[in-house]
């Protein structure tokens, strides 16, 4: 038997609860992992709260991130006792995920745990930090350098936002942080933001082209915010779009793209190819130091996952949540 968060749905109700499951119920896969830590991402919050079509099959164990030790393997790539990491691939959406003590998985979804990190470190970073790294890499591929000007990060206090600020600042960029929680300005400055703006500046309908304010942006908010972010990006700049915390819509015009040559770079962490994931984690290992992880993350137990998901969805969580699934 193992402990897990289970989401069940029938005609009348949608319910997430902590329960015990028999290992015989685990889905198919060529590797079984004893999970040490998982994490709580925005998408897990949506899944647990039943908001948005995240869970595609029921019953489902949520959890898009996990790190742990291989305890059974039919794969030549992974041996018993090896430490592994997983982010995405539909795990926690259509295949049982990381908010449990055991997972059975497809070995092709795993990567070896980066040697610089512990399992807990990788869950402090999680999909959010790995996505921030993919977004920074996308800006660089489009020619964004610190000399080009400021970089805006929206959803600054969130997981993606916190890591985007920290990574950009480490790489020498001047970072503007947009937040609904101005009272957290000190935290954002310790991560490396040099300027803080109130997110209401960006969240209402605005003109198709606005004053040029930043050379690039990493946006985890979407909707009207993303439209305003693009409209305020300098000639030839790049905006990496990775989230929808304000909404899935994009009420923009083509003006920033055809009149200012702005590039909109889409970021997807879920189906991102193996080589790009490993490259992102290698870069994270070089950039991220232990004190930063302590600043950005805090730990909860499996039992605390459901109430914490509620807080995450109402914007009351700062940074990242690590889940110790064995406590
Ligand atoms: P968090 O919940 O940790 O952070 C989201 C942040 O967005 C909040 O902290 C808040 O920051 C801001 N925010 C929340 N609600 C609103 C709103 N209504 N309007 C404007 N800003 C808002 O989530 P994550 O950082 O884990 O994820 C952020 C987004 O990125 C999510 O939409 C998630 O689904 C997406 N994502 C996408 C990935 C991909 O592969 N493309 C991978 C990972 C995440 P503040 O209080 O500072 O304003």
Residues 6+ apart with CB under 8 A from 43: 54, 64, 92, 93, 127
pLDDT for 56 equals: 94
User: What's the CA gap between 317 and 321, in Å, rounded?
Assistant: 8
Q: How many helices (H) and strands (E) are present in the chain, helices listed first?
A: 10, 15
Q: How many CB atoms lie within 10 A of CB 12?
A: 6
Which atom of ligand 1 is least distant from the CA of 241?
41
User: What's the CA gap between 287 and 284, in Å, rounded?
Assistant: 5
How buried is 167 (Cβ within 10 angstroms: 0-12 exposed, 13-18 middle, 19+ buried)?
A: buried
Please say if the pLDDT value at position 122 is more than 90.
yes
Q: How much is the pTM?
A: 0.97
Cβ < 6 Å from ligand 1: which residues?
A: 41-43, 127-128, 131, 155-161, 179-181, 199, 203, 220-221, 225, 242-246, 267-270, 312, 315
pLDDT for 309 equals: 97
Please say if the pLDDT value at position 52 is more than 90.
no
Domains belonging to the chain, first-starting first, are: 2-113+296-324 (3.90.180.10), 126-266 (3.40.50.720)
CA of 113 to the centre of ligand 1 (A): 26
Which atom of ligand 1 is least distant from the CA of 159?
25
CA of 162 to the centre of ligand 1 (A): 10
Point out which residues pair with 8 in neighbouring strands: 15
pLDDT band at 1 (very low <50, low <70, confident <90, very high): very high
User: What's the CA gap between 311 and 321, in Å, rounded?
Assistant: 11
Please say if the pLDDT value at position 201 is more than 90.
yes
Q: Residue of the nearest CA to atom 3 in ligand 1? A: 158
3-state SS, 182-240, equals: HHHHHHHHHHCEEEEEECHHHHCCCCCCCCCCEEEEEECCEHHHHHHHHHCEEEEEEEE
Phi, psi angles (nearest 5°) of residue 249: -75, 165
Tell me if 119 sits within 8 A of 36, measured CB to CB. yes
Q: Residue of the nearest CA to atom 18 in ligand 1? A: 246
pLDDT in tens, 265-312: 999 999 999 999 999 999 999 999 999 999 999 999 999 999 999 999
Tell me if 161 sits within 8 A of 155, measured CB to CB. yes
β-pairing, 214-219 vs 193-198, is: unpaired
Q: How many CB atoms lie within 10 A of CB 247?
A: 14
pLDDT for 101 equals: 98
**Cis preceding-peptide flag for 59 (omega within 30 of 0):** yes
CA of 156 to the centre of ligand 1 (A): 8
pLDDT in tens, 126-171: 999 999 999 999 999 999 999 999 999 999 999 999 999 999 999 9
Q: Residue of the nearest CA to atom 17 in ligand 1? A: 246
pLDDT for 103 equals: 98
**What is each CA distance from 285 to 36, 102, 317, in whole angstroms?**
20, 26, 25
């Amino acid at each position: 038997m193992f402990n897990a968060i289970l989401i069940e749905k029938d005609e009348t109700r949608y319910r997430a609860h902590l329960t015990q499951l028999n290992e015989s119920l685990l889905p198919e896969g060529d590797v079984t992992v004893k999970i040490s830590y998982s994490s709580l991402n925005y998408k897990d919050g949506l899944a647990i709260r039943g908001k948005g079509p995240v869970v595609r099959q029921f019953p489902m164990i949520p959890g898009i991130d996990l790190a742990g030790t291989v305890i059974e393997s039919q794969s030549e790539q992974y041996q018993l006792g090896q430490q592994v990491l997983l982010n995405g691939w539909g795990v926690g959406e259509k295949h049982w995920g990381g908010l449990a003590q055991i997972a059975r998985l497809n070995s092709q979804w795993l990567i070896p745990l980066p040697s610089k990190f512990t399992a807990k470190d990788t869950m402090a970073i999680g999909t959010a930090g790995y996505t921030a790294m993919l977004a920074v890499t996308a800006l660089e591929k489009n020619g964004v350098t610190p000399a080009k000007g400021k970089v805006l990060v929206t959803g600054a206090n969130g997981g993606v936002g916190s890591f985007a600020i920290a990574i950009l600042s480490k790489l020498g960029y001047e970072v503007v942080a947009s937040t609904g929680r101005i009272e957290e300005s000190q935290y954002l400055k310790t991560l490396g933001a040099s300027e803080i703006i109130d997110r209401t500046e960006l969240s209402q309908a605005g003109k198709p082209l606005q004053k040029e304010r930043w050379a690039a942006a990493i946006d985890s908010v979407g909707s009207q915010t993303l439209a305003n972010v693009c409209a305020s990006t300098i000639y030839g700049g790049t905006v990496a779009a990775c989230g929808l915390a304000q909404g899935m819509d994009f009420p923009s015009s083509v003006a920033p793209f055809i009149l200012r040559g702005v590039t909109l770079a889409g970021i997807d962490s879920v189906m991102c190819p193996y080589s790009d994931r490993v490259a992102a984690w290698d870069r994270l290992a070089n950039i991220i130091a232990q004190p930063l992880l302590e600043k950005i993350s805090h730990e909860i137990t499996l039992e605390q996952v459901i109430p914490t998901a509620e807080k995450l969805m109402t914007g009351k969580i700062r940074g990242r949540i690590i889940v110790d699934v064995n406590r």
